């Protein structure tokens, strides 16, 4: 195969570091990330993250924007290869990756937590909305409107302990106001693998 006809493919799959960075972007494609978030999510040194961001931006898969003193990167969903790349990552990933990928693009989902055993996910949804997470083998779902979740934090925190005390955050959307309630209830939830 003549590599000159497929420059974006050559750029994309040349390193394990690139795959780690792509995984973060393709599982949650509507979210912008800055370099330190990607460093934390991938475990890569910052220089490796910077190198991969530069290559992926030059290849046309990411775009960048500056906001204050931070530069954010995000997937360009208009890139012709985006749907196929995302599909490849979801198919090749774990059941947890597929669940995370499904929940990340559902506009009604505010937070998602998985038990330590990895067999159940608590999905916290916007009031009056009912997300439809993609089924994954061996993983069950519990859907909870955010107002019920907030009430449970106060009235029945033991009900949430398998998800918040022993479990992990699988989306990492810590800027959502719901996190103030979680922290006020005394929970410090660990982040799942690859979550910034």
For 37-60, the pLDDT digits (tens) are 999 999 999 999 999 999 999 999
CA distance linking residue 128 with residue 52, whole number of Å: 40
Residue 2 pLDDT exceeds 90: no
Band the pLDDT of 151: cuts 50, 70, 90.
Answer: very high
Is 152 a residue whose pLDDT tops 90?
Answer: yes
Residue 62 pairs with which residues in a beta bridge?
Answer: 75
The 10s digit of each residue's pLDDT in 100-129 is 999 999 999 999 999 999 999 999 999 888
CB under 8 Å to 109, separation ≥6 — which residues? 103, 123, 124, 125, 126, 131, 171
Evaluate whether 160 touches 122 at the Cβ level (below 8 Å). Answer: yes
Q: Give the pLDDT band (50/70/90) at residue 130.
A: confident
pLDDT mean over 84-111: 92
Residues 121/99, Cβ–Cβ less than 8 Å = yes
What local confidence, expressed as pLDDT, does residue 16 receive?
A: 86
Regarding the domain delimited by 3-85, which CATH topology (the fold level of the hierarchy) does it fall under?
Arc Repressor Mutant, subunit A (1.10.10)
- The CA distances from residue 42 to 61, 82, 101, 117, 150, in Å, are 18, 20, 16, 22, 31
Query: Model-level pTM greater than 0.85?
Result: yes
**pLDDT of residue 10 exceeding 70:** no
Closest listed residue to residue 139, CA positions, set 94, 108, 75: 94
6 pLDDT more than 60: no
What pLDDT was estimated at residue 3?
37
Mean pLDDT of 133-147: 89
For the chain, the average pLDDT equals 91
Residue ranges matching CATH 1.10.10.10 in the chain: 3-85
Q: What is the pLDDT of residue 129?
A: 84
Average pLDDT over residues 14-33: 92
Q: How many CB atoms lie within 10 A of CB 140?
A: 10
């Amino acid at each position: 195969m003549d590599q000159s006809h497929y420059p974006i493919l050559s750029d994309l799959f040349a390193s394990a570091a690139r795959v780690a960075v792509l995984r973060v972007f393709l599982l949650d494609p509507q979210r912008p990330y800055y370099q330190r978030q990607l460093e934390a999510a991938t475990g890569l040194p910052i220089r490796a993250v910077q190198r991969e961001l530069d290559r992926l931006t030059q290849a046309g898969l990411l775009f960048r924007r500056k906001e204050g003193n931070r530069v954010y990167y995000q997937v360009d969903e208009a890139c012709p290869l985006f749907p196929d790349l995302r599909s490849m990552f979801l198919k090749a990933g774990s059941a947890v990756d597929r669940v995370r990928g499904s929940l990340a693009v559902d506009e009604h989902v505010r937070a998602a937590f998985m038990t330590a055993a990895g067999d159940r996910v608590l999905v916290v949804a916007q009031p009056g909305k009912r997300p439809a997470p993609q089924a994954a083998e061996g993983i069950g779902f519990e859907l909870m409107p955010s107002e019920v979740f907030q009430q449970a934090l106060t009235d029945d925190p033991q009900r949430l302990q398998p998800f918040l005390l022993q479990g992990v955050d699988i989306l990492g959307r810590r800027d959502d106001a719901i996190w103030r309630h979680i922290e006020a209830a005394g929970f410090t939830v660990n982040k799942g693998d690859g979550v910034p």
